[in-house]
Copies of this chain bind each other. A is one copy, B any other.
């Protein structure tokens, strides 16, 4: 006799749903595990070009030590915005953050709901009028007026169920919340 309960696959979409439910149970039992802090250190290189170093984070009740090496990520601008295309620009990284978060949230929710996904693709567009950021006309804001996001999702569930997963991801994505609602920033500068 085989105990099939131990051989049922819990990994779907590359995500172990047993770990999802284990995390939920652990956080319910010990809410302090839910506190996370993410960190970035940035250094100006030259012109519009800067470099972020990303390694440590705090979460699940401890300082995370899983990254033996830091990630190094640059930002700059194309020539039309005074840079030399050393890297994507900050507004593009902002869209990338939104794309990455929505996508992994969709994959997580599908795994928890036992849906196998075959594909998630998305295109994102943000539009702005630079008269705002250039200080030429205050009737324009500095940032994007709006962002359009188009997802295409394929998987072994009905269109209705896939749409439910997208809707749930929208209501639970960390970055979607930050993009649509904003975040208070405390900014200090040591100068001289």
* Known pairs A99-B52, A182-B182, A185-B179; A91 contacts B38 (CB<8 A): yes
Interface string of A55-74 (1 = CB under 8 A from B): 00101100010110001010
How big is chain A's contact interface, by range?
35 or more
* Known pairs A90-B98, A187-B170, A192-B154; A179 contacts B180 (CB<8 A): no
Contact of B75 with A96 in the complex, beta carbons under 8 Å? yes
Distance from A108 Cβ to chain B, minimum over Cβ atoms (Å): 7
Q: Which residues of A contact B (CB under 8 A)?
A: 13-16, 19-20, 23-24, 27-28, 31, 34-44, 46-50, 52, 54, 57, 59-60, 64, 66-67, 71, 73, 75-83, 85, 87-108, 117, 119-137, 140-154, 158-159, 162-163, 166, 170, 172-192
The complex places the Cα of A140 from the Cα of B177 at a distance, in Å, of: 11
Contact of A40 with B124 in the complex, beta carbons under 8 Å? yes
Contact of B83 with A141 in the complex, beta carbons under 8 Å? no
